[in-house]
A and B are shown apart, each in its own frame.
Chain A
Amino acid sequence: MSEMRRVTAICNGTVIDHIPSGRAIQVIRMLRVDTNRSNPVSLVMNVPSDKMGRKDVLKIEDLELSQEELDRLALISPQASVAIIRNYGVAEKRVVELNEELLNVARCTFWNCITQNKMEPLPQKLRVVSRDPIEVRCYYCGRGQNMEEIIENIL
Chain B
Amino acid sequence: MSDVVTMDDLTNKEIMSILDDAERLVPVAKGDIHLPLLEGKVLANMFFENSTRTRMSFESAMKRLGGSVLNFTSVGTSVAKGETLFDTMQMVDGYADVAVIRHPRQGAAQYSADAIGIPILNAGDGAGNHPTQTMLDLFTIREAHGTLEGLNVALVGDLRYGRTVHSLSHALVRFGATLTLVSPEGLKMPVEIVSDLREHGAEVVETSDLAGVVPEADVIYMTRIQKERFPDEDEYAKVAGIYMLDSSDMSGAKDGMIVMHPLPRVSELHPSLDNTENARYFQQAFNGVPTRMALLCRCLGVKVPKKVK
A143 to chain B: which residues have CB within 8 Å?
106, 190, 192
In whole angstroms, what is the CA distance A123 to B206 when docked?
A: 37
A116/B86 in contact, CB under 8 A = no
Q: A112-B104, A142-B128, A142-B192 are in contact. Are A120 and B110 (CB under 8 A)?
A: no
Chain B residues bordering chain A, tally (CB within 8 A): 23
Residues of A within 8 A of B129 (CB): 142
B106–A122 CB distance below 8 A: no
Q: Is A117 an interface residue (CB 8 A)?
A: yes
Q: Tell whether, in the assembled complex, residue A112 and residue B192 are in contact, meaning their CB atoms are under 8 Å apart.
A: no
- Shortest beta-carbon distance, B93 to chain A, in Å? 14
Quick check: A121 and B107 within 8 Å, CB to CB? no
Instruction: Tell yes or no: A155 within 8 A of B by CB.
Output: no
Task: Give min CB distance, A155 to chain B, whole Å.
Answer: 17
Contact of A122 among B105, B114, B125, B191 (CB under 8 A): B114
Q: Is A88 an interface residue (CB 8 A)?
A: no
B111 contact from A114, A119, A137, Cβ within 8 A: A114
Interface residues on A, range: 20 to 34
A122 in contact with B86 given A112-B126, A112-B127, A114-B111 (CB within 8 Å): yes
Question: Is the Cβ of A110 less than 8 Å from the Cβ of B106?
Answer: yes
Q: Is A58 an interface residue (CB 8 A)?
A: no
Closest chain B residue to A108 by CB distance? Answer: B107
B86 touches A137 (CB 8 A): no
Q: Write the nearest CB–CB distance from A112 to chain B, whole angstroms.
A: 5
Q: Are B84 and A117 in contact (CB under 8 A)?
A: yes
Question: Do B86 and A115 touch (CB < 8 A)?
Answer: no
Nearest opposing residue in chain A for B193, CB measure: A142
Query: Are the CB atoms of A116 and B191 closer together than 8 Å?
Result: no
Contacts of A110 in B (CB 8 A): 106
Q: Could you say which of B86, B128, B191 contacts A144, with CB atoms under 8 Å apart?
A: B191
Within A84-123, the residues touching B (CB, 8 Å) are 108, 110, 112-117, 119-122
CB distance from B47 to the nearest CB of A (A): 16
B237 within 8 A of A: no
Q: Which residues of chain A are within 8 angstroms of B115 by Cβ–Cβ distance?
A: 122
Is there contact, CB below 8 Å, between B105 and A116? yes
19 further contact pairs, Cβ within 8 A, besides A114-B107, A120-B111, A122-B115 = A108-B107, A110-B106, A112-B104, A112-B106, A113-B107, A114-B85, A115-B111, A117-B84, A117-B105, A120-B85, A137-B192, A138-B107, A140-B110, A141-B126, A142-B107, A142-B128, A142-B129, A144-B191, A144-B192
